[in-house]
Amino acid sequence: MLISSAYAQTAPAAAAGGGGDLMSSLGGMLPLVLMFVVLYFIMIRPQMKRQKEHRTMIDALAKGDEVATSGGVLGKVTKLSEGTVYLEIANGVEVQVQRGAVSQVLPKGTVK
Protein backbone atom coordinates (compact mmCIF):
# COMPACT_ATOMS: atom_id res chain seq x y z
CA MET A 1 0.00 0.00 0.00
CA LEU A 2 2.79 2.40 0.81
CA ILE A 3 4.66 1.65 -2.43
CA SER A 4 1.64 2.33 -4.62
CA SER A 5 1.22 5.73 -2.95
CA ALA A 6 4.82 6.61 -3.72
CA TYR A 7 4.42 5.73 -7.40
CA ALA A 8 1.26 7.78 -7.57
CA GLN A 9 3.03 10.84 -6.19
CA THR A 10 5.98 10.71 -8.59
CA ALA A 11 4.09 9.81 -11.75
CA PRO A 12 2.78 13.34 -12.58
CA ALA A 13 6.24 14.87 -12.02
CA ALA A 14 7.86 12.40 -14.40
CA ALA A 15 5.20 12.92 -17.07
CA ALA A 16 5.34 16.73 -16.84
CA GLY A 17 8.24 17.24 -19.28
CA GLY A 18 11.72 16.18 -20.35
CA GLY A 19 13.41 19.49 -19.41
CA GLY A 20 13.31 18.66 -15.72
CA ASP A 21 15.30 15.46 -16.28
CA LEU A 22 18.33 17.39 -17.53
CA MET A 23 18.27 19.79 -14.60
CA SER A 24 17.85 16.99 -12.07
CA SER A 25 20.78 15.03 -13.54
CA LEU A 26 22.99 18.15 -13.48
CA GLY A 27 21.87 18.86 -9.93
CA GLY A 28 22.77 15.32 -8.96
CA MET A 29 26.26 15.67 -10.40
CA LEU A 30 26.94 19.02 -8.75
CA PRO A 31 28.06 17.55 -5.39
CA LEU A 32 30.53 15.25 -7.17
CA VAL A 33 32.00 18.14 -9.15
CA LEU A 34 32.29 20.25 -6.00
CA MET A 35 34.00 17.41 -4.13
CA PHE A 36 36.54 17.03 -6.96
CA VAL A 37 37.27 20.78 -6.97
CA VAL A 38 37.79 20.79 -3.19
CA LEU A 39 39.97 17.66 -3.43
CA TYR A 40 42.08 19.32 -6.13
CA PHE A 41 42.76 22.44 -4.08
CA ILE A 42 43.30 20.62 -0.77
CA MET A 43 45.34 17.59 -1.87
CA ILE A 44 46.44 17.49 -5.50
CA ARG A 45 47.69 21.04 -6.04
CA PRO A 46 49.85 21.21 -2.87
CA GLN A 47 51.37 17.81 -3.71
CA MET A 48 52.31 19.00 -7.20
CA LYS A 49 53.87 22.12 -5.67
CA ARG A 50 55.97 20.00 -3.25
CA GLN A 51 57.12 17.77 -6.11
CA LYS A 52 58.20 20.81 -8.13
CA GLU A 53 60.12 22.26 -5.16
CA HIS A 54 61.84 18.89 -4.57
CA ARG A 55 62.82 18.63 -8.25
CA THR A 56 64.23 22.18 -8.12
CA MET A 57 66.21 21.36 -4.96
CA ILE A 58 67.68 18.20 -6.51
CA ASP A 59 68.65 20.05 -9.68
CA ALA A 60 70.40 22.73 -7.61
CA LEU A 61 72.59 20.30 -5.64
CA ALA A 62 76.26 21.22 -5.72
CA LYS A 63 79.50 19.76 -4.44
CA GLY A 64 79.97 20.59 -0.76
CA ASP A 65 76.25 20.73 0.11
CA GLU A 66 75.23 18.92 3.27
CA VAL A 67 72.13 16.80 2.75
CA ALA A 68 69.82 14.32 4.43
CA THR A 69 68.48 11.34 2.53
CA SER A 70 65.04 9.78 2.83
CA GLY A 71 66.68 6.89 4.72
CA GLY A 72 68.04 9.27 7.36
CA VAL A 73 71.69 9.30 6.23
CA LEU A 74 73.44 12.65 6.65
CA GLY A 75 76.41 13.48 4.48
CA LYS A 76 78.34 15.98 2.40
CA VAL A 77 78.09 15.86 -1.40
CA THR A 78 81.46 14.96 -2.92
CA LYS A 79 80.53 14.11 -6.50
CA LEU A 80 77.47 14.47 -8.70
CA SER A 81 76.49 12.45 -11.72
CA GLU A 82 73.34 12.40 -13.81
CA GLY A 83 71.26 10.12 -11.60
CA THR A 84 73.36 9.68 -8.47
CA VAL A 85 74.99 11.66 -5.70
CA TYR A 86 78.12 10.58 -3.84
CA LEU A 87 77.96 11.42 -0.13
CA GLU A 88 80.78 11.40 2.39
CA ILE A 89 79.14 10.16 5.58
CA ALA A 90 82.38 9.83 7.59
CA ASN A 91 86.08 10.47 6.99
CA GLY A 92 87.02 8.23 4.07
CA VAL A 93 83.54 6.65 3.81
CA GLU A 94 81.63 7.52 0.67
CA VAL A 95 78.24 6.15 -0.38
CA GLN A 96 76.37 6.46 -3.63
CA VAL A 97 72.65 7.31 -3.52
CA GLN A 98 70.08 8.20 -6.12
CA ARG A 99 69.33 11.89 -6.51
CA GLY A 100 65.67 11.30 -5.64
CA ALA A 101 66.68 9.90 -2.23
CA VAL A 102 67.91 13.33 -1.12
CA SER A 103 65.11 14.72 0.98
CA GLN A 104 66.58 18.05 2.10
CA VAL A 105 69.61 20.28 1.96
CA LEU A 106 70.88 21.09 5.44
CA PRO A 107 72.51 24.33 6.61
CA LYS A 108 76.30 24.42 6.39
CA GLY A 109 78.03 22.99 9.47
CA THR A 110 75.25 20.54 10.36
CA VAL A 111 77.26 17.46 9.39
CA LYS A 112 80.48 17.10 11.40
Alpha-carbon Rg for the chain in angstroms? 29
Query: What's the pTM value of the predicted model, to 2 decimals?
Result: 0.66
pLDDT tens digits in sequence order for the chain, 112 residues long: 556 655 555 555 555 555 567 778 878 888 899 999 999 999 999 999 999 999 999 999 999 999 999 999 999 999 999 999 999 999 999 999 999 999 999 999 888 7
pLDDT at 7: 57
CA distances from 63 to 41, 58, 74, 78, 88 (A): 37, 12, 15, 5, 11
Identify whether 5 is part of a domain. no
Both 49 and 37 in a single domain? yes
Q: pLDDT tens digits for 9-24? A: 555 555 555 556 777 8
Both 79 and 47 in a single domain? no
Domain that holds residue 48: 17-60
Identify whether 50 is part of a domain. yes
Number of independent structural domains in the chain: 2
The residues facing 105 across adjacent strands are 67
**By three-state DSSP, how is residue 81 classified?**
coil
